[in-house]
Structures are given as structure tokens and as C-alpha cells.
Amino acid sequence: MKFDFKKFFFRKPKNELEGSENQQPKEEPPQQDAAIPEKLAEKCEGCGQIVLKDEFAANYGVCPKCGHYRKIDARARIGMCFENFEELFAEEESGNILDFPGYTEKLEQLREKTGEKDGAVCGTGMLGGVKTAVFSMDYRFTMGSMGHTVGEKITKIFEYATENKLPVVGFVLSGGARMQEGIISLMQMAKTSAAVAKHGEAGLLYISVLTDPTTGGVSASFAFEADIIIAEKGALIGFAGPRVIEQTIRQKLPEGFQRAEFIEQKGFADLIVERREMKEKLCALLKLHCGEAIA
């Protein structure tokens, strides 16, 4: 399946995270330049300037004017780096396990709006001649929060990769656990970790790509259990969200705290990669680990 950048970038990003730290959806309609029809342009969330959608698309969702990284959905992520993507476990879907008030309706709304059953897409794809198992998390689904479906799909892709001796590349994006699924969502951290452990013990490579944001229960499980941890430039990565920390310690956090650069400096990410270079870097790492030796 070929990824259609244009089709994707014509959709307006919506921020659904309960307690989103970085971006508040802007209420006022974007100021339109009279010369540009509304559907061809969008306002950058970073600088507020009007940017042609084509320009965003050609630039990997990065604002050509200020360099702001827009969030991109799970399939777009995979499409940017992998070829011949074949989806697996697409049928996975779960309901309101704990009968949490309002959650059934919320799931229905999100499914309707996104066309996805939940917040993770899995499958296999090719990069640099290496067949790879891939998972990718979706910000549109309660900011990639992990409930049963997300945990199950990620566990299944690690099990599939172990069985078929494939490396795993995971594009991580999550505000944390899906609280409407209570203890079941907490158990996903243990379940996914166990699957990561088995994959690792089989001598197979796992690369996690931590994108904005990677926090909470997901960061405290499979995000940080990889052989190689890539932090996407500028991404917020941490255990507790900055607002929670500020409330706890009653102190303002320093500039750049928990950003990719900070995470690398403190020794918790192997490398920072810009979005436009992601494919190339992943390709090089996959080839080095899984490809044939260079004569």
C-alpha cells in the first residue's frame, strides 16, 4: 500500500489527550490570506503562520517556516519509513471492559472520527531490504493511551516477530495508560514487557522511536526496553508529565526539561533523529544489525 501524504495532511490534527501538555487546540479560525482558499492552507500550531498543506506534506509535517513538528498519525508514520506495509491484527478491538461511565460513547466517537479501531497500527514492512515488524501509535486516539487493544496488538506484533525472527521497529507516542480501563490498562505494561523480553532473548533487534509525547505507563514499559532508543527531535519524553511535576514540587521546570535533547544528555536515548532523516537512520541501523555483511 502506497502512503498518500496529501490525503493525510489534508486532515486537521485534533488533540484528544486528557491533560495534554504541549498543545491546546486553537479555537479561533485561522486567519486566511484572501488569495489562498481555506482548504489549501493551514495555520501552523507552532508559529501561527499560514502554510500550504502541500508544503507541510512535502516537508514530513514539519512547518517550513518555524520548524515545528506536527503530530502525524500511526499510518503516516509507517508510510514515511517503510515500504510494502502489510497490516496485521487489524481486527483487534475491545469494548468498555470495566463499564466505565461514558467510555463506550467515547470509543464510538473516536472510531467514527479516526476510522481506526484503537490507537495502534501493526504489521510488517520493508526497509533497506530488511523485513521488519512495525508498530505505530496514534495521537488521535486519546493521545495514544494504552488500553487492552493497544497492549494486545503490541504484544502480538512482538510474538509474531519472535516466531518469524524479525526485528521490531516501534513508533511510540503515548500520554500513558488508558485510565478508563483501570487495572487492565496497567496490566498491559506487564504483558508487553514480557513479550519484549522474549523477543530480546531470541537475539532479535528492537528499535523504539520515541515521538512527542512519550510519557506515563508506555514510557515506563516497552518504550524504554529497546536495544536502540531513538528520540525524535524536540519530543517530550518522561515518566510524569511536566504539569504534574510542577504541581508536585511547586516549582517551574527549566527550559527544555524532558525534551529529546535532555533525554539524550542524561543518557537515556541513543540518538536524536530529525523526522526527515528517520528513514535513513532506521535503514542504516536495520542493515547493520540484520543485513548481510558488507564485503
Partner 1 sequence: MSAYDIVLKSREKGRPTAVKYISNIVEGFIELHGDRRYADDKAIVAGVGYIDGMPVTVIGIEKGEDTNDKIAHNFGCAHPEGYRKAVRLMKEAEKFRRPVLCFVDTSGAFCGIGAEERGQSEAIAMSILEMIRLKTPTLSVIIGEGGSGGALGLCAADEVWITETSTYSVISPEGCASILWKDSSRVAEASECLKMTAQDLLSLGAVERVIPEEGFTDAFYAKLKTDAAQTLKKLKEIPAETLVENRYRRYRKF
The residues binding partner 1 (CB under 8 A) are: 18-19, 98, 100-101, 148, 151, 155, 177, 179-191, 193-194, 196-198, 201, 215-217, 219-225, 237-240, 244-245, 248-249, 251, 253, 257-258, 266-268
- Answer whether 148's CB lies under 8 Å from 120's CB: no
Q: How far is the CB of 183 from partner 1 (least distance, A)?
A: 5
Q: How far apart are CA 231 and CA 205, in angstroms?
A: 17
Q: How far is the CB of 270 from partner 1 (least distance, A)?
A: 12
Which of residues 21 and 45 has its CB atom nearest to partner 1 in the complex?
A: 21
Long-range contacts (CB closer than 8 Å, 24 or more residues apart) made by 32-39: 39/10
Q: How far is the CB of 290 from partner 1 (least distance, A)?
A: 22
Which of residues 132 and 215 has its CB atom nearest to partner 1 in the complex?
A: 215
Q: How far is the CB of 54 from partner 1 (least distance, A)?
A: 37
Which of residues 10 and 100 has its CB atom nearest to partner 1 in the complex?
A: 100
Which of residues 36 and 271 has its CB atom nearest to partner 1 in the complex?
A: 271
Which of residues 42 and 211 has its CB atom nearest to partner 1 in the complex?
A: 211
Which of residues 10 and 268 has its CB atom nearest to partner 1 in the complex?
A: 268
Q: How far is the CB of 219 from partner 1 (least distance, A)?
A: 4
Which of residues 5 and 206 has its CB atom nearest to partner 1 in the complex?
A: 206
Q: How far is the CB of 260 from partner 1 (least distance, A)?
A: 13
DSSP string, the chain: ----HHHHHTSPP----TT-SS-----SPPPPPTTS-GGGEEE-TTT--EEEHHHHHHTTTB-TTT--B----HHHHHHHH-EEEEEESTT-----TT--TTHHHHHHHHHHHHS-SSSEEEEEEEETTEEEEEEEE-TTTGGG-B-HHHHHHHHHHHHHHHHTT--EEEEEEESSB-GGGHHHHHHHHHHHHHHHHHHHHTT--EEEEEEEEE-HHHHTTGGGS-SEEEEETT-BB-SS-HHHHHHHHTSPPPTTTTBHHHHHHTT--SEEE-GGGHHHHHHHHHHHHHSPPP-
Q: How far is the CB of 216 from partner 1 (least distance, A)?
A: 8
